[in-house]
Amino acid sequence: MPRFRIISIALHLLVSVWALFVLAPVVWMVLAGFRTRADIFTQPLGLPKSLGFDAFVRAWNTGIAGFILNSVLVTVASVGLIVAVSSVAAYVLARSDHPALKWIYVLIVASFAVPAQSVLVPLYQIISGAGLLNSLFAIVLPYAAYGIPFTTVLFYAFFLEFPRELEEAARLDGCNRLQVITRVVLPLSGSAMASAAIFQAVFVWNEFLLALLLLTDKRIKTLPLGMLNLRGQFSADWPAIMAGVTMVTLPMLILFVLAQRYFVRSLAGLGK
Amino acid sequence: MISGALRGLRLAGWNGAMLAPALALVGVFVLIPSVVTLAGSFFAFGITSSAWRFVGLDNYLQAFADPIFWVALRNNIIIIVGSIISQVGLGAILAAILDRGIKRGSTVYRTITFMPVVISSVAVSLIWLMIYDPNVGALNALVKAIGLRPPRLGWLGDPSISILMMLVTAAWANVGFQMVLVLAGLQAIPKELYEAAALDGARGLKAFWYVTLPGIRNILVVGILITTIGGLKVFDFVFVMTGGGPANATQVMGTYIYLQAFTLGNMGYADAISIILLLIALALGVAQLKLSRRG
């Protein structure tokens, strides 16, 4: 089987080249944080000469802790709101055959196609008109609005396949409509909820455009803006910029490797 | 009769209460702003001015006569086509290899390749900004090390190659997503189909052509559509890496709308470009519905 061996080695080589191409910038990012400005300038491809954390301290002092806190608050609030609002809406849409609901469903699907880029001007006017610029509360609302259509469609498909017999049995046992949802449907929808939550959390955590538009006060900025802030503050101090990016990115990567099964399942669910 | 009507009303009230939060949020932040954008596109107004001056179709005529608008649209198209070829193409090839071509380490390969998907696009842009940097960047150093000369204006400073450099960054970030998408589709193809094809004499490339490709056709369509919509909405990479420069050479629709509205203060004009973008996005949305229904 020598021909088979050669093909197999060639295929391994091909995926290895891509894996190296993906890994190299990440390794380079981490190493750059440990180097000095002068050193990186004279020898771009060199290795760190010592394990100094100076650049990490410089980056941390730009307020990264605050950016992380803001991002955690915004992500938890947005994802919670998206999942709660979408699940009840999808349940009604999947269980009722009122003709008006069909149009509401079409409207929600249509809003899924509207890019945030094409409503920037009125969005800015609505938020600033309501006096809500630079409020973490304000950014949660548009994030929820942009997450709801996709999540509702996802849950709608899930509830259509949910066994109605279980709900009817609960009704016979004396549950009212709300109890059927809170005691029977929701507890059995955990995996769908988790998938949707992970997907939306990755989106909100990394969202940049709306944050750029609506959060200008440094105390209220989320992580993507905080990282851009590093570039503005340090301009050519690449070790400090990369140290900052490393501190933000590495925990996410570790979390991903530990829970990759769930991430991959959630994000690849888009294809269904 | 009366109690039936009452029950109907209560049911409507119940349905309404469950739907109201979703409709309110989507209405206030997506649907109403779309209509306001359409209205604003027929007026001239600035960030602070409350006076809207009706200008009819002038903003649209201005867009069609604006060379930078066409550069931005062209760049979106380059990014869309380039991303479909590089991301969907490479993603499908890697997925096919991981599915049937290799026996060991496919989980490790999948994890590494998918990794950039969870990295924020601003972080991705900053990492690649440093790699492309003419003074401290790895790419210049590597090119010099093998005896070639790097571009005189820099990888991102040279208008003829800066868009290509962004395609490389986008591929780095997104190939893993496409790969996982296709991989899920490949693993759903029943093994018996391959066995039956082998009995009929179809192995290797023939089996790929007659069994694998038809099996993942729908997934590839979804991947192409996601890539197309992503390429239409691209903003973060361009804004962070070049800001649309040098001399507007890397401007895309998203960054140009932002520039016109919030840097130059031409909000009516920005609205007109927004509506053009919205119409393209809606057309793609309809295409998506049509194609996924067929599948």
pLDDT digits (tens, 9 = 90+) for B185-237: 888 888 888 888 888 888 777 888 888 888 888 888 888 988 998 999 999 99
Chain A closest-CA separation from residue B68 CA (Å): 17
Question: Judged by CB atoms within 8 Å, which residues 174-233 of B form the interface with A?
Answer: 175-177, 180-181, 183-185, 219, 222-223, 226, 229, 232-233
Question: Judged by CB atoms within 8 Å, which residues 141-200 of A form the interface with B?
Answer: 141-142, 144-146, 148-149, 152, 177
pLDDT score, position A186:
84
Return the residue matching tokens 């944080």: A33
Nearest 10 degrees: CA dihedral of B122, B123, B126, B130?
-160
**Which domains are assigned to chain A?**
63-234 (1.10.3720.10)
Task: Indicate if the pLDDT at residue A6 is higher than 50.
Answer: yes
Max mean pLDDT among A73-82, A261-270, B152-161 falls in A73-82
Do A41 and B18 make contact, defined as CB atoms within 8 angstroms?
A: no
pLDDT score, position B10:
63
Cα dist. B73→A117, B153, B203 in Å? 14, 24, 44
Instruction: Report yes or no: B98 and B183 within 8 Å, Cβ to Cβ.
Output: yes
Question: Judged by CB atoms within 8 Å, which residues 96-155 of B form the interface with A?
Answer: 97-98, 101-103, 105, 108-123, 126-131, 133, 135-138, 140-142, 145
pLDDT score, position B11:
64
CATH number at B67-294:
1.10.3720.10
Task: Indicate if the pLDDT at residue B295 is higher than 60.
Answer: no
The size of chain B, in residues, is 295
C-alpha to C-alpha distance for B98 and B105, rounded to whole angstroms: 9
Q: Output the average pLDDT for chain A.
A: 87
Phi-psi region of B147 (alpha: psi -120 to 50; beta: other; left: phi over 0): left
Q: Which residues lie closer than 8 Å to A256 by C-beta, 6 or more apart?
A: A263, B114, B115, B118
Per-domain residue ranges for chain B? 2-40, 67-294
What percent helix, strand, coil does chain A show, rounded to 5? 80, 0, 20
Task: Indicate if the pLDDT at residue B50 is higher than 80.
Answer: no
> Which residue, A99, A185, A202, is CA-closest to A150?
A202
pLDDT digits (tens, 9 = 90+) for B108-155: 898 999 999 889 999 999 999 999 998 888 898 888 888 888 888 889
Q: Mean pLDDT lowest for which of A13-27, A150-164, B79-93, B235-249? A: A150-164
Max mean pLDDT among A108-117, A172-181, B24-33 falls in B24-33
pLDDT score, position A271:
46
C-alpha to C-alpha distance for B20 and B32, rounded to whole angstroms: 15
Interface pTM (ipTM) of the complex? 0.89
Question: What is the pTM (predicted TM-score) of this model?
Answer: 0.90
Partners of B108 on chain A (C-beta within 8 Å) are 19
Cβ atoms within 10 Å, residue A192? 21
Which of A117, A228, A264 lies closest to B122 in CB terms? A228
